[in-house]
Amino acid sequence: MPSPEAPALLHSSFYRFHPLADPAAAAEQVRALAQGLRGPIVLAAEGISGAVAGTPAAVAAFEAALQACGLFGPRPLVFKHSPCRTPPFGRLKVSVKPEIVALGLPQAQALPVPDEHDDSHLSPQAWRELLARGDAVLLDNRNNFEWRLGRFRGATDPSVHHFRDFVAYVEAHAPQWRAENRPVAMYCTGGVRCDKTAPWMRSLGLQVFQLDGGIMNFFQALQDEEGAAQRDWEGECFVFDKRIALDPRLQETGTPPEAVFDPTHPDEAWRLARARRLDDA
């Protein structure tokens, strides 16, 4: 069988929790490495999170340079890839913020630094084995509109419109989960929200497992197994760019923003307006 053609544009997402003494200086260095690509990259004292798109060659060069620059520790960065028909971003934006993902966790300053490589991170195969046992709480760590569009079969929706909704949901249910001795199997799109949340959830006495690399890694890892991802996943996966949604084959679905966001809900109305602006950009 001939090899599939390389996409004209490749999307690459990544993050790393690693302390940065001077995030502003790191941002300047990353900005220089990312010239010729488009997408948002956020740096903070806790590390980096970003997504870029460009030709496969340009993306590969950026990834190699980012790894080699030495800013983010010796362990290899993990990049999750998906092809693009639609250019996902209008421009390159490298910014410095207080957090790479702002979740407003209670007592966040007292929590351990997230460890992306601890043994709570389950490979796609180990994740499937855990879910097959049937004793875990399968918790979706994303927004409600993302859950509506697509989810792992049997996943619990915490009905998140603001991240404080997730905190309140976990705090309300943690006593029951502890009493029942049920582990929590948690997932998000790329892994960063789960990594940020897991130390706080463990501080509540919960046993927490995470899907390593999130939904994108799950889809990517199962590309060679015909229909494998679809057996565990139903619907589409929302992505925060102009493509809107991907199917388990990492292909754009053509779903418009009007089919994702509920304009009667204030939090989703502004997201719909932003998506329409991005579409016109």
Query: Hey, where are the domains in the chain?
Result: 9-96, 108-280
Q: Does residue 188 carry a catalytic annotation?
A: yes
| Percent of the chain clearing pLDDT 70 (strictly above) | 95
Does the pLDDT of residue 3 top 50, yes or no? no
CA atoms of 229 and 127, how far apart (whole Å): 12
| CATH 3.60.130.10 assigned to 108-280 | no
Note whether 213 and 192 are within 8 A (CB).
no
Computed over every residue of the chain, the mean pLDDT equals 93
Note whether 126 and 120 are within 8 A (CB).
no
Does the pLDDT of residue 40 top 80, yes or no? yes
Domains 9-96 and 108-280 equal at CATH topology level? no
In this predicted structure, what is the pLDDT of residue 51? 98
CA atoms of 187 and 142, how far apart (whole Å): 8
In this predicted structure, what is the pLDDT of residue 280? 55
In this predicted structure, what is the pLDDT of residue 103? 83
In this predicted structure, what is the pLDDT of residue 10? 98
**DSSP secondary structure letters along 107-160:** TGGGSPPP-TTSTTEEPHHHHHHHHHH--SEEEE-S-HHHHHHEEETT-B----
**Active-site residue, selected from the candidate residues 84, 188, 194, 237:** 188
| CATH 3.40.50.2000 assigned to 9-96 | no
Does the pLDDT of residue 212 top 90, yes or no? yes
DSSP reduced 3-state for 65: helix
Note whether 102 and 35 are within 8 A (CB).
no
Cα of 65 vs its chain's centroid, Å: 22
Q: Could you report the per-residue pLDDT of 87-136, keeping only the tens digit for each? A: 999 999 999 999 999 888 887 667 888 988 899 999 999 999 999 999 99
CA atoms of 11 and 107, how far apart (whole Å): 34
Q: Could you report the per-residue pLDDT of 42-93, keeping only the tens digit for each? A: 999 999 999 999 999 999 999 999 999 999 999 999 999 999 999 999 999 9
The set of residues, in sequence order, having a beta carbon less than 8 Å from that of 30 and lying 6+ positions away, is: 41, 43, 48, 50, 66, 69, 71, 94
